[in-house]
Structure 1
Amino acid sequence: MGVALVGSLAVLGAAAVALGSSEGTPSGSAPSMQARSVPSEAAEQVAENPAPVPPAGTPPQSGAPQSTPSGTVTPTGTFTAAAANGPAVGKGTIRRYKVEVEEGIGIEPQTAATEVQAILADKRGWTTDRRNGFQLVADGTFDFTVRIASPETVDRICASGGLDTKGEVNCDVGRQVMVNSKRWQTGSPQFSGPIEEYRALIINHEVGHRIGHGHEACPGPGKPAPAMMQQIYGLNGCTPNAWPYTADGSYISGPSIP
């Protein structure tokens, strides 16, 4: 989403900030598996023997438990990196990414990494343009990190790029796709369907910003909403949709929003 605020609420404005894009509204000032912990703002290394993930394109198991709350959820500001590698998928530029989860929010990093990997490998995703590809990595060089964090932590990190996520939405800032755990675990009242589909919208929207896509509007009543539409703010007659492409490879587009 613009300065990418994806699937979480879909981005508030489409302000393109030099640091990234997001669903968040630009703020007045811009301050900012075996798994191991990494500091809040850095995560360059993980375990030496990463666990494999399912083959590219393997869909996440519907209904698989994604959160494992045990008592009070207490975000720590510290992230655990998923020690998992996956195969490169897609053509053209292959972007290497890591998945990290904030400790204390009840989400298991390995499970989250498997789900993100399946979304980015799906044939309805961005690889269909044959210009972009992705690879889940646990260590070495990488292009960006998908981070699932508490609303408070997302707000803090997104603010570093001048984005106001209001405790509700996601963003793409710097080298990070920030996913609001509230949206990851509960979806959006505007989006009917399985939670797995809404998670796909979050990832597709924010990663779409990262590879150069801006926000789009509803193309007409009854038509599927583009993945780059801020669907959390209302569908305007469109039907909910999580994917940039149809199963037969057609791009689901709408009017560009400046």
Structure 2
Amino acid sequence: MSATSAPADRSDGNDVTGPSDLPTSALSTPSAPATSKTPTPTHTTPTTPASVPKSGSGTFTTAKASGSASGHGRIRRYKVEVEGGIELSSSSAAHEIQGILADPRGWTADGRDGFQLVSSGYADFVIKIATPDTVDAICGSAGLLTHGEVNCDVGATVVVNLKRWMLGSPEFDGPITEYRALIINHEVGHRIGHGHESCPGPGKLAPVMMQQIKGLHGCLANEWPYDSKGRYIQGPPAP
């Protein structure tokens, strides 16, 4: 599959640029997730809180976690950082993200991309998990409007909104761990050159590069770029 070049800076949420792009339900606390259609990740599903803090310390702790490389071709090294002042273990988050990026249904299935979690030295990109206010500040510095609701991709930094990480999205009916896989796979998809895609047709799986938080348009929520048989889940380029 050919990759589509994407801008270095974007508001992703999977991504939206402001509340006007979000369905009304996306601005409220989602209901409890339903049973997923796909195998659950190997990590333990956490308890979903009713709310998350709006702001944190504004400083970040790099996870003291690292692992072996997964995938083939270009191996991108990445770090995971978590904002201070919130109850989220940076190490646990890093290992969860590592499991997502190493999953055989993830981007390593393309045979040309790989990833390695590191805690020091050079990194190709950094994944920051931050409170809504801090996300707005970081993304806003690049002119991106996240309005306390969504994620963004700025330069070599993926900024994950703690609200989405902990509460998921009302457009996604799977467990919170699977929505986290969608966040990471969507944002890292941009990092390796993929642009947005649209729903390929009613009843079909939504591509991971579709902005699923905006609505599924007849597609089924999906968090993986590839299916269990190694086939890319693709839709037409988004307009």
TM-score (norm 1): 0.76
**Identity score, percent:** 61
Q: Name the structure 1 match of 2:44.
A: 62
CA contact under 8 A between 1:145 and 1:175: conserved in structure 2? yes
Residues 6 and 190, structure 2, Cα contact 8 Å, conserved in 1: no
Residue 80 of structure 2: SS of its match in structure 1?
A: strand
Which residue of the partner structure matches residue 139 of structure 1?
120
SS at match of 1:84: coil
Contact 2:100 2:181 in 1 (8 A): yes
- Structure 2 equivalent of residue 89 of structure 1: 70
Which residue does 1:220 correspond to in 2? 201
Structure 1 match to 2:61 = 80
Aligned amino acid, residue 204 of structure 1: N
8 A contact 1:17–1:162 mirrored in 2:
no
1:20, distance to aligned residue in structure 2 (A): 5.5
Runs of 4+ in structure 1 over 6 Å off: none
Q: Matches of 1:98 and 1:257 in 2, distance apart?
A: 30
1:105 to 86, 89, 96: 86
Alignment of 1:174-253 (within 5 A): 174-253=155-234
Q: Give, in angstroms, the shift of residue 59 of structure 1.
A: 3.9
Q: Kindly tell me: are residues 234 and 141 of structure 1, through their superposed partners in 2, closer, same or farther at Cα, counting changes over 3 Å?
A: same
CA contact (8 A) 1:82 1:110 kept: yes
Contact 1:120 1:204 in 2 (8 A): yes
Residue 126 of structure 2 aligns with an amino acid whose one-letter code is T
Is there any run of 5+ residues in structure 1 with no aligned partner, and where?
A: 1-14, 27-57
1:11-26 matches, within 5 Å, as 16-19=6-9, 22=12, 23-25=15-17
Instruction: Give the residue type in structure 2 aligned to 1:63.
Output: T
Instruction: Write the distance in 2 (CA, Å) between the matches of 1:72 and 1:136.
Output: 27
Alpha-carbon distance change, 133 to 66 in structure 1, aligned in 2, over 3 angstroms = farther
Question: How much is the aligned-residue C-alpha RMSD, in angstroms?
Answer: 2.4
After TM superposition, give the deviation of residue 166 of structure 1 in Å: 1.5
- The answer to whether structure 1 residue 155 and structure 2 residue 125 are counterparts is no
Q: Give the length in aligned residue pairs.
A: 212
Report the alpha carbon displacement of residue 17 of structure 1 after superposing the two structures with TM: 3.9
The letter for the 2-side match of 1:25 is: T
Shift of 1:165: 1.1
If the length of structure 2 is used for normalisation, what is the TM-score? 0.82
**Corresponding letter in the other structure for 1:172:** D
Partner of 1:115: 96
- What SS does structure 2 have at the residue aligned with 1:25? coil
Amino acid at match of 2:136: D
Q: CA deviation at 1:65?
A: 5.3
Task: Point out where structure 2 has 5 or more consecutive residues left out of the alignment.
Answer: 19-39
Query: Deviation digits for residues 164-202 of structure 1, max 9, x if unmatched?
Result: 112111111111110000000000001001000000000
**Are 2:163 and 1:171 aligned?**
no
CA contact (8 A) 2:63 2:94 kept: yes
